[in-house]
Structures are given as C-alpha cells and as structure tokens.
Amino acid sequence: MRKFSIPTILTLLSLTILVSTNAQISTYFAEVEAWNSDRIDALKQPNGWLNLEGLFWLKKGVNSFGSSSINDLVYDNAAFPKHVGDFIYEDGKVYWKDGITEKITINDNDLVLANSGTLNLLTATEGKYTSQWKDFIWVVIQREDKVGVRFRNLKAKTLLEFKGIERFPVDPIWRVKAKVIPQDQNPLMIMNVLGQNTAQKHGGQLVFDIEGKTYRLDAIDEGGVRLFVAFADATSGKTTYGSGRFIELDKPDADGYTYIDFNKAYNPPCAFTEFATCPLPPAQNRLSIAIPAGEKKYGQH
C-alpha cells in the first residue's frame, strides 16, 4: 500500500477542494445563464414587455378606439382601423362593442368569442380576456381607481429589433446569504410610477452583510414560494436603470435564511416601455452601496 507524506496529503486535499469549488462555480455560472435565457425569452413573448405600444385610460361612458384622431383612444398607426370599436365603461364594468366594419376576437383562454359586446372585460383576472385584431392585441387593466387598456403590437419595432440586455460580469460574491426577519408592519406600502400607493403583504426584512457592513431590504410576499424586492443602489441612474431594479428570491428556510442573488437583478418593465405601471423601491430599499451585478440600464425610458 502506498504511503503519502503529510505535505502530499494536504496537497491532494487542496486539489480536491479546488476541483469541487471550480465545479460548483461552473454549475452556478450555468444556472445564471439559464436564468438569463429564460428572462430574454419571457420578454419576447406575446405577454412580454417588448411589444407594448399603448396604455389608454378610460373615461366613464363610451370610449371610441382606433387610428383616427377623432377617437377618444387613438393608436396612431396607419395599419390599424380608423375605428375598430368602443369600450363602454359604466357601473364598474367594461364592455366591448365592435365597429361598424370591424370584428375582433376575444379570447379568455377557454373559449373564443367573436363580436362579444356583452362580455364584462374588467371583472376577469387581468390578461384573461385578450382582444385581438390581426397582430394587435389588448387587455383591460385596473390600477386602483384607474381603468385602462394595455395595447400590444406583436410586430412592434421594439420587439423585432431587440438584441438583448447588457449585464455585469457574473460574480458569485453577489450571491449573498440573508436572514429574513418577520415584520409587524403589514402591509408594506409600495408606490408605482402613477403615484398610487398600494398595500402589499410584507414578506419580511432581509438582513445581509457586504464587505463587513450590514444592509437591509424589505420584501413583498406575492404568494407561492418566492419573495419580490424592488431596490435601488449607487449604480441607479448611472450604469443601471434610474428607478431601480427588481429581484426575486426563495422564501426563507427552516432556520430563517435565504439567498439574494444580485446577479439575477433585472430591469423593471418601465425600462423597456413608457406604457407600464411599475412599482418603485420604497425609501428603505435604496442602498448606499453600489451593486455592479445583474442587468444594466436599457433604452431611454
């Protein structure tokens, strides 16, 4: 049986640890790249953020819709009908009425209805009732007391010319362990770009250290097994989107810990379009430190 000296054994142990560490790092890099690929694919989907070309707020009563300037809601595109139809908003409900010469399709994922003027488009879960005319689709949304129409062009220039999002180099040091401290403050108030404050379920305060200093972020519990965080840092408005970025993470384990992976920090929808209604980071989620990880700023929004 071959015997090894103490230095040789230590060298072998070091090599084993190094190989193991390199394998873990390689696996982690592959995980982040897979996440990024899924992220890009999601942006390109019909319900992604790259094809938005309109957000029209409704008034009470009849809201005519089309490309002609005489309509209440104007989508300025020669390829779109001058008058495709009307949204009728009354008693907290929104109905659709086809134009004289146009017929649209309303799809609720279970059935497809043509000329569905009696369907209440507002009470359905957002995105369930999708209206379509050729490559243009739209859905009724509600933001507190505001009711509007989110409009998409499946052949939008912003979609067809999309080349990806620049990112910081992936660095494992930005995957940070955090203690999740339950908060008595419930709900967590979050303001959106419309200036509306919305009560959200508090998912706890994330407490973590970077370079020997302790930082905190408040998380939103959106249900399921994940937490959501809107945050800003010292890169915001410089190399990253000015209003901050988003990040999702697992809920805490049995010991109350989770990991914040800043390499997966991503731009909010408002970075891609002016027709989104993004939540903004609360004051306590504006970090003084720079987080050079995740997505960099995109576009001019």
What is the domain extent for residue 214?
Answer: 166-285
Please indicate, yes or no, if residue 6 is contained in any of the structural domains: no
CATH code of the domain containing 71: 2.60.200
What are the tens digits of pLDDT across the range 60-86?
Answer: 999 999 999 999 999 999 999 999 999
Query: How large is the average pLDDT for residues 210-226?
Result: 95
Domain contains 33: no
223 and 258, same domain (yes or no): yes
Could you tell me if residue 15 is inside a domain?
Answer: no
pLDDT in tens, 25-50: 889 999 999 999 999 999 999 999 99
Do 150 and 172 lie in one domain? The reply is no
Q: Tens of pLDDT along 170-207? A: 999 999 999 999 997 678 999 999 999 999 999 999 99
Residues 131, 187 within the same domain: no
The pLDDT, as a whole number, for residue 184 is 77
Residue 18 above 50 pLDDT?
no
**What does pTM read for this prediction?**
0.88
Instruction: Let me know: does 268 contact 189? Beta carbons within 8 Å.
Output: no
Going by C-alpha positions, the residue among 188, 294, 181, 179 that lies closest to residue 245 is 294
Domains in the chain: how many in total? Answer: 2
172 plus 135 within the same structural domain: no
With respect to residue 172, please indicate whether it lies within any of the assigned structural domains: yes
pLDDT of residue 11 exceeding 70, the answer is no
Report yes or no on 12 lying in a domain: no
Based on the domain organization, do 74 and 107 belong to the same domain? yes
> Mean pLDDT lowest for which of 105-109, 142-146, 161-165, 227-231?
105-109
3 confidence band (pLDDT: 50, 70, 90)? low
CA pair distance 155, 136, nearest whole angstrom: 8
For residues 59 and 134, membership in a common domain is answered with yes
Q: pLDDT, tens digit, for every residue of 106-137?
A: 988 776 776 666 788 988 777 789 999 999 99
